[in-house]
Amino acid sequence: MTYKNIVLALDIEDEPNTQNAVKQAVFLAKASGAMLHLLYVRHNMPQGDAQLLAANFDSEERDESHEALARIKTGLDLEPDRSTITSGRGPITYAVIEQAEKWEADLIIIGSHTPSIASKLFGSNASSITREAKVSVLVVRAIEHRAA
């Protein structure tokens, strides 16, 4: 299968999952000649909590996430004009799906941990995106190291 637009939803604070998801996304983008859209969705802030933070918190957090995405983009084994970076804020599932629709994505790639008890009880972002997306979703697991 070939793809035209791939959305790579990243958690820039989770290095192992990010690395594995990036590898898969670059492989598929190169094989398909697709555009790769790197996306980081910042945690949704309830309105009341926003008032407790510094006035420039949102802009600083946005700038930091763009810098992190730019570093990832620079390290891609892909021509610079074949990838974009975007960060947003909001409920992760809906922000990812909204961006995928905006970019007319035909694949969403997400890095994910092995499911925990909490995610099995309450659900995870990866499972929500998989349920709600209108396009294929590839969930890439980080390699878990177990003690011998």
pTM for this prediction: 0.83
In a domain, 62, yes or no: yes
Q: What pLDDT shows up at residue 12?
A: 86
**What single-letter amino acid sits at 146?**
R
User: Is the per-residue pLDDT at 92 higher than 70?
Assistant: yes
Higher pLDDT, 125 or 138: 138
Q: What pLDDT shows up at residue 113?
A: 65
Higher pLDDT, 22 or 125: 22
Count CB-CB contacts under 10 A for residue 106: 18
In a domain, 86, yes or no: yes
In a domain, 65, yes or no: yes
Higher pLDDT, 47 or 95: 95
Q: What pLDDT shows up at residue 124?
A: 76
pLDDT band at 118 (very low <50, low <70, confident <90, very high): very low
**What single-letter amino acid sits at 46?**
P
In a domain, 145, yes or no: no
In a domain, 82, yes or no: yes
In a domain, 107, yes or no: no
Structural domain count, the chain: 1
What is the domain range of residue 79?
10-33+40-93
In a domain, 114, yes or no: no
User: Is the per-residue pLDDT at 148 higher than 80?
Assistant: no
Residues 6+ apart with CB under 8 A from 119: 113, 127
Residue pair 87/42 in contact (Cβ under 8 Å)? The answer is yes
Q: What pLDDT shows up at residue 52?
A: 60
Pair of tokens at residue 10: 């990243």
pLDDT band at 114 (very low <50, low <70, confident <90, very high): low
Give residue-wise pLDDT tens across range 34-89.
Answer: 999 999 998 766 555 556 655 666 778 788 888 999 999 999 999 989 999 999 88
Identify which of 111, 90, 91 has the alpha carbon closest to the alpha carbon of residue 38: 111
User: Is the per-residue pLDDT at 128 higher than 50?
Assistant: yes
What dihedral angle (degrees, nearest 10) is formed by the CA atoms of 91, 92, 95, 96? -160
